[in-house]
Amino acid sequence: MLDPIVRDYLFHDLRLKCTRDKLILGGIAVVVVILAFLGWVDVLEGRYPFVIWVWVPYSIAGSLIGYFILAFLDRERRVRAFHLLTIVSVMVVAGPAAAFFNGLFEAPIKFVTVGFFEEGMKIVPVLLLAIYVPNLIRTRKDGIVYGALAGMGFNIIEIGFYIAKQLHESSLLESLYLHSTRFGLWGLGSHIIWSAFVGLGIGFAAESTKHGWAKWSRAVYFYLIAAVSHSLYDLGLNGLGIIVVSQIESMIRGIDLSDVATEVYGPGPINDGMRYGVYVWTIVLIIAMIVQIRRSFRLENTIQIDELS
């Protein structure tokens, strides 16, 4: 439950006071839920939902450290309910809606569009929170946190899906080793990075006092950067990071990479390259977000001083 003082502050400027705003939000919700239903039908392919959901606790466990890090960044406000809302809404609704769009195309076109569909749908709950609950996402740090939470929700359900699918081709242990690479470091995998970067753009918009395109332009630009980065990664540039990490680990361990080049279902340089290679590809985005988080803390201190005075 939210602290009464925090609740009053968050909902003070709630933009659901007029009928028009309620109708717009309701219309968006209906459309996204319909897309999510179609996405679930496509993803399940006649299987029972439990086949995927049985692996969700495993995905959640693998994401816990990452969540604690994000919660620490948002520690000044006790708003865990909104954290849960963001994660679950992407897991159940926005993620499957993205799957519906992905199902419209076959490879290789699918790999070109995947970044635009997934990054667009993942960020919908965050965008709606920024618009309708403006006191929740006030700074670029808030945008990064909620964007990352959205990516975490997507990652949780996607890992569950891929493990369930891989079990038809490999053993349980091999499936876990292969798709646990999607957690990255401490559960902060690729989806978290891209969504957090889009969230940074929304955070900039929240800080801006401008209106219209001038306010939201950076959010659009950051979305396009993340979407292109995601699509290029799926088109094969993920191999760049895999090779770099695998080569470094092989040299440190003094082994020949060619001897373990096919060992993706167990511990080793290739598996570690699949887990950590994304950070090679997204290092610029990561550095940019770290810098902006530091600056955002200074801005939040200024805001708090102004509010207290």
Cβ(149)–Cβ(83) below 8 Å: yes
Query: What residue segments make up the domains of the chain, in order of their start?
Result: 9-228
pLDDT for residue 125: 97
| H/E segment holding residue 3 | none
Instruction: List pLDDT tens digits, range 151-180.
Output: 999 999 999 999 988 888 888 888 888 899
Cβ(43)–Cβ(99) below 8 Å: yes
pLDDT of 108 above 90: no
Amino acid at 93: V
Distance in angstroms (rounded) separating the CA atoms of residues 190 and 275: 9
pLDDT band at 250 (very low <50, low <70, confident <90, very high): confident
Instruction: List pLDDT tens digits, range 207-219.
Output: 998 989 999 999 9
Mean pLDDT estimate for the chain: 89
pLDDT of 256 above 80: no
- 181 DSSP assignment: G
Q: What is the pTM of this model?
A: 0.91
pLDDT for residue 3: 64
pLDDT band at 5 (very low <50, low <70, confident <90, very high): low
pLDDT of 266 above 80: no
Instruction: List pLDDT tens digits, range 59-68.
Output: 999 999 999 9
Cβ(56)–Cβ(157) below 8 Å: yes
pLDDT band at 41 (very low <50, low <70, confident <90, very high): very high
Of the candidate ranges 2-11, 169-178, 191-200, the one whose mean pLDDT is the lowest: 2-11
Distance in angstroms (rounded) separating the CA atoms of residues 256 and 213: 53
pLDDT of 6 above 70: no
pLDDT band at 307 (very low <50, low <70, confident <90, very high): low
pLDDT for residue 300: 76
- 183 DSSP assignment: G
pLDDT of 77 above 80: no
Distance in angstroms (rounded) separating the CA atoms of residues 63 and 66: 5
